[in-house]
Amino acid sequence: MRFILLLGIILWHVTGQAQEITLPDETQINVEVVEAVGKPVARLLWLPSEYGLLAQERALAERLAQRGVESWLPQLFEAYFLSPSPSAVKAIPDESVHALLRQARAEGVPVYVVGTDRGAILALKAWQGVQQAGPMRHGALLLINPNLYVATPKPGAEAAYWPEAGRLNAPVYVFQAELSPWRWRLDELLAQLTRGGSHVFVHLLAEVRDRFYFRADANQTEQQAARLFPQQIARAMALLTPWITQPRPLPPAQAREQVQVPNAQAGKTATLMAYDGPPYPPLRLETLDG
């Protein structure tokens, strides 16, 4: 609908704000943790885009920590000796993002997986990999200007999407920059994401380009939008709260077939206007378990 690892034994070491996962193949993934102020009410798992994990994203995490949100920033590219690039995103083994999400969920804290630009595919793979073991609850995806195309589509041509886009059953919140070229393919994206039963919320960010919160040439409107972005992320998490308590099984097999630009309208959508109001009140997720 629209409004819309199992790797074996994992060794886990905690040292202050640095954590390390050692996978069975002996790959070590360092995870920077931005701790919440007080007891964490939710956790964000930030997966890298083709630009890597950015200082601006850590700054967002620090702002969200004031609202009780803990953030994990795994150094996936470093673990596999990759430099940030579109090809590096494709080179990340699926098992590594499965392991990260499984570990992030281990303590029962609600987990929101963040995927930006081409890194959105890693968020989908992480969710679906863990979902193989059983229905998912107390989690969601936050996608920022998601680029889920196998290759950049030419103007007027059909887009080829990663098959995971049509296999998704999750609560999803999409932040879409209004001045991004991908804004005009938003309906196609929603048709993909809702095939498997996902509830997808769309937040159109007015008068900003993609990469607005880390552009070197950001204009005043984009700079202001970047300052408001932590509030908007917290608002998205709070809005998704009723949806993350619902069990999310894998979608039916027929919904998991690889497709390009389907015409199916599988669910419901709520399109949200850009949030320009006062700061949103502190995130409160304590009642997730009733």
CA angle 62, 286, 65 (to 5 degrees): 5
Q: Mean pLDDT over residues 212-223, rounded?
A: 95
DSSP states of the chain as a string?
--B--BTB--EEEEETTEEEEE-TT--EEEEEEE--SSS-SEEEEE--BTTBS-HHHHHHHHHHHTTTEEEEEE-HHHHTT--SSHHHHHHS-HHHHHHHHHHHTTT---EEEEEEGGGHHHHHHHHHHHHTTS-B-SEEEEEES---BSSPPPTTSPPPBPGGGGG--SEEEEEEETTSGGGGGHHHHHHHHTTTT-EEEEEEETT--TTTTT-TT--HHHHHHHHHHHHHHHHHHHHHHHHHTS-BPPPPGGGGS--SS-----S-EEEE----SSPPPPP--TTTT-
Query: What was the pLDDT predicted at 282?
Result: 40
Place of tokens 């908007």: 232
Phi, psi of 143 (to 5 degrees): -110, 125
Query: Which candidate, 127, 7, 136, 28, places its Cα nearest to that of 74?
Result: 28
pLDDT digits (tens, 9 = 90+) for 69-123: 999 999 999 999 999 999 999 999 999 999 999 999 999 999 999 999 999 999 9
Contact by Cβ (8 Å): 222, 180: no
- The residues facing 114 across adjacent strands are 46, 142
Domains, the chain, in order of start with CATH, read 11-272 (3.40.50.1820)
Query: What was the pLDDT predicted at 272?
Result: 53
pLDDT digits (tens, 9 = 90+) for 166-200: 999 999 999 999 999 889 999 999 999 999 999 99
**268-272-166-42 Cα dihedral, nearest 10 degrees:** -110
The proportion of the chain whose per-residue pLDDT surpasses 90, expressed as a percent, equals 72
Query: What was the pLDDT predicted at 266?
Result: 36
Within 8 A by CB and 6+ apart from 163, the residues are: 256, 257, 258, 259
Distance CA 48, CA 128 (A): 17
Q: Mean pLDDT over residues 278-288, rounded?
A: 38
Query: What was the pLDDT predicted at 156?
Result: 81
Query: What was the pLDDT predicted at 226?
Result: 96
Average pLDDT, the chain: 84
Give the pLDDT band (50/70/90) at residue 217: very high
Q: The tokens of 85 are what?
A: 């690039």
Q: How many CA atoms lie within 13 A of 123 on its CB side?
A: 34
